[in-house]
Amino acid sequence: MLSDEASSFSIVIQALSYAAEKHRHQRRKGSDHAPYINHLIDVLDLLWRVGGERDPAVLAAGVLHDVVEDTGTPPAEIEARFGKRIRDLVMEVTDDKTLPQAERKRLQETHAPMLSRDARVIKLADKISNVRDLHRYPPEGWPLERRNEYEAWAKRVVDALRGANPALEAEFDRVLEQGHPSGE
């Protein structure tokens, strides 16, 4: 029998290994084209270090949050490997890819207040990671106007999520403030 601590650690490592395999052909859309797993490690780091999140299910779901949306992994596979709670959390933060992108973005805003506390925390870490990457490595072909639009949308989603984890919310505000492009 593993101790609680060892089994918590084990599930997060398993999630990282599984996500690395699933996203292995995917790159971030930023100008550095980083391996996709970097984003998932970033989200895990934000949840743990900035957010103080210690629940292994939240940490593992944070690592797995893009697996269904971006790699077409069946939710049942997540459940079989990681259990129902992690599957449910991943599904809460998964967009319906059959909808057009503009509609998906609108739904993120309207659904945000209905999400569970744990799903909101994952969304917050995701938005911090995405906006930080946008500042550091703006995608090619994204003029300032498009970046500003993305930021404004991310802020509306975060505003609708507030109340879940004040440290992550403050970190989002700091990232937004700091990275505000100037003189372009």
Q: How far is the CB of 33 from Zn ion (least distance, A)?
A: 16
Judged by CB under 5 A, which stretch of 5-13, 62-70, 96-104, 140-148 contacts Zn ion? 62-70
Judged by CB, which is closer to Zn ion: 136, or 182?
A: 136
Which of 35, 11, 34, 32 lies closest to 23 in space, CA to CA?
35
Distances in whole angstroms, Cα of residue 116 to Cα of each of 28, 87, 112, 121, 138: 27, 13, 9, 9, 31
Q: How far is the CB of 65 from Zn ion (least distance, A)?
A: 6
70 is catalytic: yes
Judged by CB, which is closer to Zn ion: 10, or 107?
A: 107
Give the whole-angstrom CA distance, residue 93 versus residue 65: 7
Judged by CB under 5 A, which stretch of 5-13, 60-68, 84-92, 166-174 contacts Zn ion? 60-68
140 is catalytic: no
Judged by CB under 5 A, which stretch of 44-52, 58-66, 81-89, 98-106 contacts Zn ion? 58-66
Hey, how many other C-beta atoms are within 10 angstroms of the C-beta on 154?
21
Burial code of 30-43, b = ≥16 C-beta within 10 A, e = fewer? Answer: beeebbbbbbbebb
User: Catalytic residue among 45, 55, 69, 77, which?
Assistant: 69
Q: How far is the CB of 157 from Zn ion (least distance, A)?
A: 12
- 66 is a site residue for Zn ion (CB under 5 A): yes
Residue 26, Cβ density class (10 Å: 0-12 exposed, 13-18 middle, ≥19 buried)? middle
Judged by CB, which is closer to Zn ion: 66, or 118?
A: 66
Judged by CB, which is closer to Zn ion: 7, or 32?
A: 32
Among 42, 126, 133, 169, binds Zn ion (CB under 5 A): 126
Active site residues: 69-70
Residues of the shown chain interacting with Zn ion in the complex, contacts defined by CB under 5 A: 66, 126
